Amino acid sequence: MQNQITIDCPSEILLGLHLNAEGFADYLKKQAAISLFKEGKLSSGTASAWLGISRLAFLCMAFDAGATLLENSADDLKRETALL
């Protein structure tokens, strides 16, 4: 099941970012996936599937944004190795 979320966005934001509505939606989706991953609320596998990219591509993108793979906790290790 897919859900669609609609948000209001002033034209000034799109103009300032040099993005159209679709480009801004893609940007927000990537940022949300990275943020949720960094907070431990989304696994890298789920995030990559949501974005339609490989897990490796997502992890590279997330690491570039300051994410870490593991914080030395058992929960992190279990989450990240569950899909292997």
Encode pLDDT of 9-55 as tens digits.
999 999 999 999 999 999 999 999 999 999 989 999 999 999 999 99
Distance CA 65, CA 30 (A): 11
Q: Note whether residue 17 is domain-resident.
A: yes
* Cβ contact 46:55 at 8 Å: no
Residue 1 falls inside a structural domain: no
Range of the domain at 33: 11-81
Per-residue confidence (pLDDT) for residue 63, from 0 to 100: 93
Q: How many domains does the chain have?
A: 1
Q: Give the pair of three-digit tokens for residue 45.
A: 């596998």
| Residue 5, in any domain of the structure | no
pLDDT digits (tens, 9 = 90+) for 49-80: 999 999 999 999 999 998 876 666 677 667 76
pTM for this one?
0.77
Distance of CA 68 to the CA centre of its chain: 13
Asked if residue 22 is part of any domain, the answer here is yes
Under DSSP, the state recorded for 50 is H
Q: Is the pLDDT of residue 1 over 70?
A: yes
Report the 10 Å Cβ neighbour count for 53.
16
Task: Please tell me the predicted confidence (pLDDT) of residue 3.
Answer: 92
